[in-house]
Amino acid sequence: MRRTFLGAIGVFLVSSLAALVTWLVLGPPDRSVACDPADLGEGQICLSEVRAWEADSYLWVDARPRKLWQKNGVSGSVLLTDDNSEDFLRLEEDFMEAAYREGEPYPRIVIYCNEEGCGSSKAIAAGIREKFAEMMGFEVFVLYGGWKALAADDA
Amino acid sequence: MKLFSPFFFLLTVISSAEMVFETKLVEINAGPDVDVVTAEFPFEIKGEVSEIIEYDAPCSCLSARIEPLRADRSTQLRWEVGETGRVTSRFKMGNFKGTVDKAIVLKMKGREKPIQLVVRVTIPILFEIQPSTLMWELGGQAREQIFKIRVRHDRPLKILESSGTTENFPFEVRTIKEGWEYELRVTPKSTASPSMGMIRLKTDSELKRHQRHQVFVVVKKKRP
């Protein structure tokens, strides 16, 4: 019994050491969201491409519920969610104020939602394109991987 | 090759083991006065046992249930081969208008990619305003521009109130056909400096989501 216990401890120590060495040599595990431009749907964009733009050339729009936006929304982002507990006209007003930027609208709007499962970002993007994009002169994108891609990038 | 046959057989069974849905997209055309719609996604378990780790609808407007429930009214998460059930979703429409896609996400044990079930609801736009935004170039001519309003309903909708947020954009609501067709004519006082405003309209619709409307008016630089 004692021998088995010591054996288990030994296996645990060896595997922990191997994991530590792997971490030190190769770095932390890659949690990034793989994004192949060839797989993107219409209007979608990879985070790597967004990161390559000048910081003041795009506005982040958070399409998640308010409590998530308040918890960890991207700095400078504006909330525009179709969560039906919100006054959507009021959110639309706040979005336009931000996007208009004192008469020099952002040329690009990038919308993120909560991981893969949220259709909100696509719906919000379609609404912005239809209502404002042409007059305001901005392109509208949906971030591939949504919040998961942003969180992995910040990790 | 003979040696590897059982391996390939096993691989085939595993790769086909899943919760098989009759459809992963349900489209619903809702009436203008409907507040809640439900959609059902029937499924059958094929291949091997399926276990739901988590199911969620990332929107407070959508709730999901895996049915049938167990005898004690709890949710059955582990499903045996050959069992059938359904995911039932309930969509509260709130202020939505137009076409909206909402997804239910099922995270399954042993499966990296979650299953997405999409409810596509189309809610009619009864009070149509075209376009949603009017723009004047900075330093350009302050000419009159028009929003066209049409009622797409089986009964008339009258404009009860109209208000603007910025003095730079005086407007006039012109009735073309009472209850059915209007024009909102806007002429900015000046285009010498950037400005943005809104014009809000309230109709006599008995349906809350069709009562309030807004459009935007902007003076902005022309993009090079």
What ipTM, to 2 d.p.? 0.76
3-state secondary structure of A3: helix
B96, B196, B212 ranked by CB distance to A96: nearest: B196
For residues A136 and A66, state if they share a domain: yes
pLDDT tens-place values along chain A, 155 residues long: 677 767 777 776 777 777 666 666 666 555 567 888 887 888 899 999 999 999 999 999 998 889 999 999 999 999 998 777 788 899 999 999 999 998 899 999 999 987 655 567 777 888 899 899 988 999 999 999 888 899 988 76
For residues A10 and A55, state if they share a domain: no
Contact status, residue B117 vs residue B81, Cβ threshold 8 Å = no
Measured between beta carbons, the chain B residues lying within 8 angstroms of A83 are: 59-61
A122, A134, A136 ranked by CB distance to B101: nearest: A122
Domain assignments of chain B as residue spans, ordered by start: 18-123, 127-220
Distance from CA of B47 to the nearest CA of A (A): 25
Please check the confidence at residue B10 and state whether its pLDDT lies above 50: no
Q: What is the pLDDT of residue A124?
A: 85
Residue of A nearest to B101 (CA): A119
Range of the domain at A86: 37-154
Domains held by chain A: number = 2
Say what the alpha-carbon torsion angle A148, B61, A93, A74 is, to the nearest 10 degrees: -20
For residues A73 and A124, state if they share a domain: yes
Q: How confident is the model at residue B7 (pLDDT cuts 50, 70, 90)?
A: very low
Beta bridge partners of B65: B88
Distance from CA of B2 to the nearest CA of A (A): 37
What does pTM read for this prediction?
A: 0.77
CATH architecture of B127-220: Sandwich (2.60)
Q: What is the pLDDT of residue B12?
A: 37
CATH architecture of B18-123: Sandwich (2.60)
Q: CA B66 to CA B211: how far, in whole Å?
A: 36
